[in-house]
Amino acid sequence: MHTIPEIRPGQSIELLKELHILTRDGKLNQDSRRKLKQVYHLYQFIEPLMKAVQQASGERGLRLVDHGAGKSYLGFILYDLFFKSLTDGSHIYGIETRDELVRKSEELAQRLHFPGMSFLNLSVAESIDSPLLPAQIDIVTALHACNTATDDAIHFGLKKQARHMVLVPCCQAEVASVLNRLKGKALGKSALTELWRHPLHTREFGSQLTNVLRCLQLEAHGYQVSVTELVGWEHSMKNELIIATYKDLPRRRPAERLQEVLESVGLEEMTERFFVAPASA
């Protein structure tokens, strides 16, 4: 049995009502409780990263991009709890392909007097080269970005020299489809192919492998990577949280490991996807 979570200090009740997390009379239903718990839990991971950027960047202001923003639950709560009190030009950019959600978020930001929020009707891939975004971004988030949108968010973060990336991948079909297509050729090569011989295993192994490759890719660009659960499995099966922080770490070994993994499972054709730029030694 779930208990109603305590609303965080400083949290706007009006915002939670506007996001339909709270009902008009201030109640919380089961669905909204899960959503709020997930966003608050993610906030606990992101808050220390925002504080670290603040300390490092001085008066420049914090720039955060939220990819696949949807209704912008995360962006609005980040703004309400952290950005709202800042006077240094700090800004949140929400990237979303559905125009009606972008318009609704823009209207809500105006109603709540959140001037440091912008919403752009772009795909994650389009945002990489969009002139509507600054050349450098401090923090990139992508919560449940579907399939290759997570990879696009990583490419965006690399191009924008993000100090931190916070990723919750979702619905990862691309690697599984390539494994499936090459299965006949691979089966005779190694007993390891038993890991993805059955269709269900192809899907699950493909999902696991995708995130392993993403972590190696980030490490091959000098990031320190940690992987953990976002919330308990009873709330969401799409539950893997990848946090990457740029530390200028040695790149050669993870780059070599990445190539070895691709070769071991017969995915050499995907090398370009996981090497956005050459990894230096």
User: Tell me: the pLDDT tens digits for 3-12?
Assistant: 455 788 889 9
DSSP state of 222: T
* 62/68 Cα distance (integer angstroms): 20
DSSP codes, 47-89: HHHHHHHHHHHTTS--EEEEET-TT-HHHHHHIIIIITT--S-
How high is the mean pLDDT of the chain? 88
Domains of the chain, CATH where assigned? 9-157 (3.40.50.150), 172-275 (no CATH)
Token readout for 175 is 């690697």
User: Tell me: the pLDDT tens digits for 180-226?
Assistant: 888 877 666 778 888 889 999 999 999 999 999 999 999 999 999 99
Please determine, for residue 235, whether its predicted confidence score (pLDDT) is greater than 80. Answer: no
User: Tell me: the pLDDT tens digits for 76-87?
Assistant: 999 999 999 998
Please determine, for residue 101, whether its predicted confidence score (pLDDT) is greater than 90. Answer: yes
Please determine, for residue 252, whether its predicted confidence score (pLDDT) is greater than 80. Answer: yes
* 124/54 Cα distance (integer angstroms): 25
The confidence band for 234, taking pLDDT boundaries of 50, 70 and 90, is very low
Instruction: Give the model's pLDDT for residue 187.
Output: 65
DSSP state of 276: S
Instruction: Give the model's pLDDT for residue 186.
Output: 66
Token readout for 93 is 């950019």
Angle at 21 between CA 20 and CA 24, to 5 degrees: 60
Mean pLDDT of the 19-29 span = 84
* CA distances in angstroms from 196 to 22, 166, 170, 210, 264, listed in the order given: 43, 28, 19, 13, 13
Lowest mean pLDDT among 146-155, 185-194, 253-262: 185-194
